[in-house]
Structure 1
């Protein structure tokens, strides 16, 4: 559901920038109208139980991310040299000044990350929470493992390592080039740093809007199934004796799923309209649910099941690491709440 909320916020950002571009010229289109209008397309796509037909969108999504990486990296030198410090330099000196500008930006990055200030600590805690959310958002990990031909432990490890390594290279490139381009003025949705009249970024936004739209039903499908089953066990007596809907294709089941999907989409759209800082949303969800799912529960499982299988030194190290990470996640959640809701 948190992933669906993030997609709804991205829909508002992408389509607002597209509408404001010189190609369309609608500068006064409210962001909330675009988010609500997207429900007309997203709602019917989210009702079917089986969304495997949307698996072909994954290729487009991967291609768009690679294209975005190439555009961001290619535009980075021009944005670095466009800063006031170097914009007045002659063209023949630009090449020599680029290296110096990059070093200055990197020095500023390290100072911001490791400065012993409240703001620096808050940014580190938010980054930790976002990392937990990113890891927890891989809802397709189990289906991929089940779909593997001969899913041995070694094969699962190889596929997992290769996919994570590719993701690390791509996202590290985007993050590095994006920050070097804009420095401390980088927005939470860094694509919004690029002007609306940027032709290449307009193309990125237009192409990226397709997987973003289809990403909502893909991520909503498992959440809707879980909510429907939970609600059925609590409120519908026939669900209490069976693990699933006895008649998945019946009109009653379809109506129940439509109600669940509609409620989730309306809540997500309302939150997306009220909040544009999706990094804060990711930080809150990641610090709360990510800490529980990725750290607290694995710690309990390890202590109950696997602790006796390891040596005392290894079991103690694993327990201490997971405990420390869990405490850090809790601190990150409290810090995010205090910053977002202005408790202190």
Structure 2
């Protein structure tokens, strides 16, 4: 049976991307994509296309930004951001597990002002009444919190450089991306397999810290070598390029945002109207359109519900251990059919409970 993949990551990818990637493993201009040199003309073209497509989708082409694909995951960026940008102090918004980890890394390089946190409520809302000081080197936040199912829908209006972890909602909805000075995102949520991380950085903010930065952690070094200072993660970048091509062919971020909102609305409507379920996020305006977190009112129904969704070919629905319950991750390539399959199991539980 075809699996409806609601996994939080690595994510579901388009079937046509799988097919093209599989073909390239066997034959990519007479070699396998897994064995070609990253210095070869063929892969240089892949890298350049992947970089240019990222800027194109974000509306940042020709605006003084550089796109990089690096290893180490988004977690490496918790360190790299501070290494490259934190001279004295920075401001951070604490909305989840990953922002807390980013704060921990930044504290090794300077003063960190946590302007607001929802930790006391197990991160089930997005703080709103906070002030970002004007004397910080940058303000760091996450747009979407995969574990808890919250999402910051508006870009903060601040007077300092904006640094943002968009790992779990990159390319899923429009934002005024040129308001950001540095964006980073692990590819495995909406763009490709695990192993590559997209960094989009405004060129003018680099080279301002006084510390010496190790070459492998220096954005300027990677930018000067066109994102190939060392051997890049070739296959993940290739699949990312294919996924960005798929997104462009279908209408880009505008198209997929409409689709994602439709998918999320269907699930939230069922949660709100089915008396057996409740949402984790307290404020509807903080709900994520990427990661829908919910649970049962009556845990005695858990075994029955688990049987229903597994029999329906649904995969990856269990919630994170820190939240419990269920989490439906509805990334770009997840189809409406998968949403309908999940909603049907929720309705069936209500009918038979």
Above 0.5 in TM-score?
no
Larger Rg: 1
Normalized per residue, the structure richer in strand is 2
Taking structure 1 as the reference length, the TM-score comes to 0.28
Normalized per residue, the structure richer in helix is 1
